[in-house]
Amino acid sequence: MHEFTQDVEDLAHEILDYSLDRLKLNPPLDGPSTPEELFAQVGNTISPKGLGGHKALELFKDVLAPACISTDHPRYLAFIPSAPSEYANLFDLVVGSAALYGGSWLEGSGAVFAENQALAWIANMAGLPQPAGGVFVQGGTNGNLSALVAARMDARSKKPAVDRWVVACSEEAHSSIQSAADIMDVLVLKVPADVDGVMTGEQTRKAVDSYLADNPRHGIFAIVATAGTTNLGIIDDLAGIGKVARELDIWFHVDGAYGLAALCAPSVRDKFNGVELADSLIVDPHKWLFAPFDACALIYRDPTIAKKAHTQHASYLDTLENPNEWNPSDYAIHLTRRARGLPFWFSLAANGTDEYTRAMEQTLTIAQHSASLIKAHPNLELLMEPTLSVVAFTRKGWELEDYEKWSDQLLADQIGFVVPSAHKGKPILRFAIVNPWTKEADIEAILDTLN
């Protein structure tokens, strides 16, 4: 180790060739194995003498990689898939080989500068004012938590007498909000959604007023709206909720981990009106902005508040604190960080934002097309018109068991990966379409198995 020998050079070519093949080929869907099956094939890979690079790579290529579902496969439509652009994936190799440190300006100014331009693109599309900024964190869960911690600190400084803090969100909000509340030891006020699953300004106002009337010593430190729920892609009434939050002087956080990516799509942009009122927002480029795992853009309207909440102080760190320098570590719950926004930045810089608009519109078009096919299908019922690119539907007469059996078979046959979800206690199927590789024929191939 730590010597660049001919062996290293040979392995470098093998690894680059493999990476290139993976990028070029239509990847197989693949699927999980059990630990026993994997052990039978690879045994214990950790040994005093080591396997050598060639052998270790072979085990990965032949056994371990096929035991990982290709999340960028065009017929992987479960959960929220991933669809990194070629440029983004290629640049991840650079980030991996350059030992970049993305925590401080002193050490990583070039990387941080580039990441910040990518963040500014998102902040501008959202209509946040000039000083807005933030950091790429690992994922939406960390992004939501970090934003809420900043929000609570801000509220504490304004209302020191409150003895129990509460975050308000829709009953449809992502599980990471509850998780953040548990970590922070705060309560969650669930605002009922309307019949379409949308949290409205009016409902929020009612829920907050009545909660505070019943609990006069409690304080609501943040209202969270979701811009594209994970299950159905529903967008809350951002303008209405943002206005209520302003009137009540409560922090307004927009969780757009999945949906806010579509800010760059003119056909749906107006569905996000009101996002410009956000005190903080998140969007995961690893979901629908064509970046590899893992990257969540966390952006604050006033980053100085976040900096107060998150800067870590230690004798060896204080040398990094220069008022003119942007230290990404200061804006979330982390210290050491990979410059994980760089693959996204590179692809955005190289391809141009028009290309993002085009790719985004294409996924939206396929979602609309899928909805039409489902409506025309004799055995299927569309649950609702897709707001964004999640298409939810049911199969007439099926119980959960039938859905599960079908889903297992679909993967076993390597046709697609679609898992059952639920809506109002009933099982449903959903396609989450974020991949420009997903074509009409892919959707048709899956729907054919539901005849």
Ligand X SMILES: *Cc1c(COP(=O)(O)O)cnc(C)c1O
| Near ligand X in 229-248, by CB under 6 A | 230
**Closest residue to ligand X: CB criterion:** 140
Q: CA-to-CA distance for 436 and 138, rounded, in angstroms?
A: 24
Smallest distance from the beta carbon of 266 to ligand X, in angstroms? 22
Nearer to ligand X, 193 or 380 (CB): 193
The stretch among 19-27, 31-39, 100-108, 133-141 that binds ligand X (CB under 6 A) is: 133-141
Q: Which of 119, 86, 115 is nearest to 283 (CA)?
A: 119
Nearer to ligand X, 245 or 295 (CB): 295
The stretch among 58-66, 137-145, 148-156, 308-316 that binds ligand X (CB under 6 A) is: 137-145
The stretch among 82-90, 94-102, 140-148, 310-318 that binds ligand X (CB under 6 A) is: 140-148
Q: CA-to-CA distance for 219 and 415, rounded, in angstroms?
A: 51
Instruction: Assess 141 for contact with ligand X (CB under 6 A).
Output: yes
Residue with tokens 């810089």: 349
- Tell which one of 257, 339, 367, 418 touches ligand X (CB under 6 A): 257
Neighbours of 62 (CB within 10 A): 11
Q: Which of 448, 105, 93, 137 is nearest to 295 (CA)?
A: 137
The stretch among 152-160, 254-262, 331-339, 399-407 that binds ligand X (CB under 6 A) is: 254-262
CA of 313: how far to CAs of 107, 184, 217, 225, 328, in Å?
17, 20, 32, 32, 14
The stretch among 94-102, 253-261, 318-326, 385-393 that binds ligand X (CB under 6 A) is: 253-261
From residue 188 to residue 227, the character string flagging contacts with ligand X as x (rule: CB under 6 A) and all else as - is --------------------------------------x-
Q: Crossing angle of helices 86-97/6-24, nearest 10°?
A: 160
The first and second tokens of residue 86, run together, are: 């070629």
* b/e 350-389 (16+ beta carbons within 10 angstroms → b): ebeeebbbebbbbbbebbebbbebbeebeebebbbebbbb
Q: Which residues pair with 429 in a beta bridge?
A: 393, 420
The stretch among 57-65, 68-76, 207-215, 251-259 that binds ligand X (CB under 6 A) is: 251-259
From residue 57 to residue 96, the character string flagging contacts with ligand X as x (rule: CB under 6 A) and all else as - is -----------------------x----------------
- In single-letter form, the type of residue at position 75 comes to R
Q: CA-to-CA distance for 53 and 167, rounded, in angstroms?
A: 50
Burial class (CB in 10 A: 0-12, 13-18, 19+), 31: middle
Nearer to ligand X, 105 or 344 (CB): 344
| Near ligand X in 285-344, by CB under 6 A | 296
Smallest distance from the beta carbon of 327 to ligand X, in angstroms? 23
| Near ligand X in 366-405, by CB under 6 A | none
Q: CA-to-CA distance for 125 and 132, rounded, in angstroms?
A: 12
**Contacting residues toward ligand X, per CB under 6 A:** 80, 139-141, 144, 174, 176, 226, 230, 255, 257-258, 284, 296
